[in-house]
Amino acid sequence: MAGGAGEPGPGLAGEPDPGLASERTDLAWNRSGLAVVVVVAIMLRRLWPLQGFKSVVALMLIAAGATAWAAGMYLARRQRPGTGAVSLLGVSACRVLTVGTLILAGAGFLLGVLSPG
């Protein structure tokens, strides 16, 4: 199929046609970021009935996970130039996003275990 992603576009000998891949990638990361914001909001709402040390630990985990996700999103945007060219997400950004996701998952698990009723 001529003009597909990675294939030469019509009239451009030898240059790959990126199509709309970078726009789709940006939209997917925006949806993922919105999902993380919603998860953090739900966990903060669930945090409300906790008292004392439990609430401090849960709040620190939520803050660490959200900060790691924000840093990962920053790294992903910084590594990809705004030239419209399709590029892969860097290894460091993937690691930071993975750590942030695991921290948020752990915080959600602890909130589920520690919250009354």
One-character DSSP codes across 13-40: TT-BB-TTHHHHHHHHHHHHHHHHHHHH
The answer to whether residue 71 scores a pLDDT higher than 60 is yes
Query: Across the chain, what does the average pLDDT equal?
Result: 78
Q: Which of 50, 55, 66, 29 is nearest to 115 (CA)?
A: 50
pLDDT for residue 14 is more than 70: no
Return the number of other C-beta atoms located less than 10 Å from residue 107's C-beta.
Answer: 25
φ and ψ of 5, to 5 deg? -60, 125
Sign of CA dihedral 69, 64, 46, 44: negative
CA distance 82 to 70: 19
For residue 5, pLDDT beyond 60: no
Say what the pLDDT of residue 17 is: 60
More confident residue, 96 or 76: 96
* pLDDT at residue 102 is higher than 80: yes
Query: Mean pLDDT across the stretch 59-66?
Result: 91
Instruction: Please determine, for residue 7, whether its predicted confidence score (pLDDT) is greater than 70.
Output: no
Tell me what percent of the residues of the chain surpass a pLDDT of 70.
74
CA dihedral 92, 77, 45, 102 (to 10 degrees): -20
Residue 104 predicted with pLDDT over 70: yes
